[in-house]
Amino acid sequence: MAVQDFLTEIRAGSLQVRLAVDQDEVAAAQALRYRVFYEEMAAQPSAEMAAQKRDFDRFDPYCDHLLVIDHERPPGPEQVVGTYRLLRRSVAESHGGFYSTWEYDIGRIVEHPGEILELGRSCVDSDYRNRATMQLLWRGNAAYVQHYDVPIMFGCASFHGVDPQEHALTLSYLYHYHLAPPELRMRAVPEHYVDMNVLSKQEIDVRAALREVPPLIKGYLRLNGFVGDGAVIDRQWNSVDVSIIVKTDLVTQKYLDRLT
C-alpha cells in the first residue's frame, strides 16, 4: 500500500490527515504557514512572500507536506488547517541537504544508518489548536515513518521572541533534563551557539519550567524526545530555536494502534 493510500484512512470527524497531492495544496499549506508565522508570530517575510502571502523556500518543492483537512469547510485552500513538512535523507541527499544545517551540526544524526526524517514548518490554524488536530498530525507522522522505516526524526522547535534570557528557566530545564545522549546530540553551529546551561540543575523549579515549555516541544518530550546542545536566535522568525531529536519507536507504538 502506498503511503498516501494509508494516510487517507486517518480521520476524526470532519478532519482528515494526508499528504498534499498537487501544487495547489502545497500553496494552501504555505498560506497557512504565512498566517501563523508571519501574521500571528511576527516573523519577517521577504517582499515576495509578503506579496503572495505564502511562506516558502527552496526546500518546499521536494519535501512531502502533511496536511490536516477539514471537509466541513468549503473546497479550496481554507480547508487546510494543519501542516508539517517532511524531508527524508534519501530525498535531501539529492537536493542539497537538510534545512536544519544552517543552525545545527547534524553530523551525529546522519552517521546513523538507514532513513532519517527532518520535521519542520509545523503549524495549525488558530481555530484548530486542540488535541484532536495534533493527534491527527502525529498519527500521520507515525504512518509516514512506519511506511519509510524511519528510526530517527529531528528538526527545530521555537520559543517566541529573540531574547534567550526570557527563556532561561526553560532552556536550562531542557538542557539538564532532556539533553540528547552523545551519539544523537546535535550542536548549534559556533556562529549561532547560545548556551542553554544558564541555571544549575539545583536552581530549576521543574513545575514552573514545564508550564513555560511551548506545546510543540512538550509534545516531543512526551515521546521521549531530546534536545541538542545550544539554542539559536533566529531574528527573521522572531524566535529562539532548539534542536529536537526523537527515536520513532514510541511514536509508532503510541499512534499506530489508533489506526487498527
Q: What is the CATH number of the domain that holds 141?
A: 3.40.630.30
State yes or no: pLDDT of 221 exceeds 70. yes
How far CA 191 is from CA of 104, 147, 174, 188, in Å, comes to 10, 37, 21, 8
What's the pTM value of the predicted model, to 2 decimals? Answer: 0.92
How far is 83 from 107, CA to CA, in rounded Å?
Answer: 27
Read off the pLDDT of residues 124-159 as tens digits, 9 standing for 90 and up. 999 999 988 998 999 999 899 999 999 999 999 999
pLDDT for residue 120: 95
Range of the domain at 118: 3-256
Average pLDDT over residues 26-51: 97
How far CA 134 is from CA of 198, 235, 245, 251, in Å, comes to 31, 27, 18, 13
Query: What b/e sequence results for 186-217 when a residue is b if at least 16 CB atoms lie within 10 Å of its CB, and e otherwise?
Result: bbbeeeebbebebbeeeebeeeebeeebbebb
The three cell numbers of residue 69 are 483537512
Average pLDDT over residues 186-203: 97
Count CA atoms closer than 13 A to 175's CA, side-chain side. Answer: 21
Read off the pLDDT of residues 53-65 as tens digits, 9 standing for 90 and up. 999 999 999 999 9
> Of 59, 62, 99, which is closest to residue 243 (Cα–Cα)?
99
pLDDT for residue 131: 87
- Percentage of residues in the chain having pLDDT higher than 70: 93
How far is 160 from 105, CA to CA, in rounded Å?
Answer: 23
Total domain count, the chain: 1
